[in-house]
Amino acid sequence: MSAGPGGAKLLVMTARTAARALRRNRLRSGLTMLGMIIGVASVIAMVSVGAGADRFVQQQLASFGTNIVMVIPGAVTSGGARSGWGGASTLTVADADALARVPELAAVTYSRRQVLQVIYGSANWSTVVQGVTDEFERVRDWQVASGGFFGERHEKSGAKVAVLGQTVARHLFGPGQDPVGAIVRIKNVPFKVIGVLAAKGQSSWGQDQDDVVMIPFSTAERRVMGAGILGTVEMIYASARTTADLPVAADAIATVLRQQHHIGHGQEDDFTVRTLEDMTGASAAASEVMGNLLLAIASISLLVGGIGIMNILLVSVTERTREIGLRMAVGAKARHILLQFLTEAAVLSMTGGLVGVATGLAATHLIGRLAQWPTALEPASLAASFLFSGVVGIFFGYYPAYKASRLDPIEALRWE
Partner 1 sequence: MAAAAGGAPLIETVGLARRYALGDATVHALVDATLRIDAGELVAIVGPSGSGKSTLMNLLGCLDRPTAGVYRLDGREVGGLDGDARAEIRNRRIGFVFQSFNLLARTTALENVELPLYYGPLPLAEQRPRAEAALARVGIAHRAHHVPSRMSGGEQQRVAIARALVGDPALVLADEPTGNLDSRTSGEIMTMLVELNRATGVTMVIVTHDPEVAAATDRVLEFRDGRIVADTPAAPRHGARTRATRAEA
Q: Which range in 2-10, 35-43, 81-89, 116-124 contacts partner 1 by CB under 8 A?
A: 2-10
CB of 335 to partner 1, least distance (A): 8
Q: Which of 227, 229, 230, 330 binds partner 1 (CB under 8 A)?
A: 330
Question: Quick check: 332 binds partner 1 (CB under 8 A)?
Answer: yes
Question: Quick check: 410 binds partner 1 (CB under 8 A)?
Answer: yes
Question: Quick check: 33 binds partner 1 (CB under 8 A)?
Answer: no
54 φ/ψ angles, rounded to the nearest 5 degrees: -60, -45
Q: How far apart are CA 298 and CA 44, in angstroms?
A: 9
Instruction: For partner 1, give the closer residue by CB, 11 or 362.
Output: 11
Q: Which of 15, 100, 295, 326 binds partner 1 (CB under 8 A)?
A: 326
Instruction: For partner 1, give the closer residue by CB, 27 or 227.
Output: 27
Exposure class string for 313-343: b at 16+ Cβ within 10 A, else e: bbebbeebbebbbebbeeebeeebbbbbbbb
Q: Which of 112, 154, 200, 327 binds partner 1 (CB under 8 A)?
A: 327
Contact 40, 304 (CB under 8 A): no
CB of 43 to partner 1, least distance (A): 36
Q: Which of 55, 153, 192, 333 binds partner 1 (CB under 8 A)?
A: 333
Instruction: For partner 1, give the closer residue by CB, 6 or 103.
Output: 6
- Total Cβ atoms within 10 A of residue 176: 5
Q: How far apart are CA 68 and CA 238, in angstroms?
A: 6
Nearest to 60 by CA among 171, 198, 191, 200: 200
395 φ/ψ angles, rounded to the nearest 5 degrees: -60, -50
Nearest to 301 by CA among 44, 40, 45: 40
The beta-strand segments (E) located in 165-242 are 183-186, 189-197, 212-216, 235-240
- Number of residues in contact with partner 1 under rule CB under 8 A: 26
Determine whether 286 is exposed, middle or buried from the number of CB atoms within 10 Å of its CB (0-12, 13-18, 19+). Answer: exposed
Question: Quick check: 401 binds partner 1 (CB under 8 A)?
Answer: no
Q: Which range in 36-44, 127-135, 175-183, 331-339 contacts partner 1 by CB under 8 A?
A: 331-339
Residue 244 DSSP label = G
Instruction: For partner 1, give the closer residue by CB, 24 or 26.
Output: 24
Torsion sign (Cα): 9, 12, 16, 19: positive
Instruction: For partner 1, give the closer residue by CB, 369 or 406.
Output: 406
Instruction: For partner 1, give the closer residue by CB, 1 or 227.
Output: 1
Within 13 Å, how many C-alpha atoms sit on residue 138's CB side? 16
Q: Which positions from 372 to 391 touch partner 1 by CB under 8 A, shown as an x/- string?
A: --------------------
Q: Give the bridge partners for 77, in sequence order.
A: 82
CB of 46 to partner 1, least distance (A): 41
Q: Which positions from 3 to 32 touch partner 1 by CB under 8 A, shown as an x/- string?
A: --xx--xx-xx----------x--------
Instruction: For partner 1, give the closer residue by CB, 325 or 352.
Output: 325
Quick one: residue 263, left, alpha or beta (phi over 0 = left, psi -120 to 50 = alpha)? beta
Residue 75 neighbours by CB under 8 Å, 6+ apart:
82, 83, 84, 85, 87, 88, 268, 269, 270, 271, 272
Q: Which positions from 283 to 322 touch partner 1 by CB under 8 A, shown as an x/- string?
A: ---------------------------------------x
Question: Quick check: 329 binds partner 1 (CB under 8 A)?
Answer: yes
Give the binding site for partner 1 (CB under 8 A).
Answer: 1-2, 5-6, 9-10, 12-13, 24, 322-323, 325-336, 409-410, 413
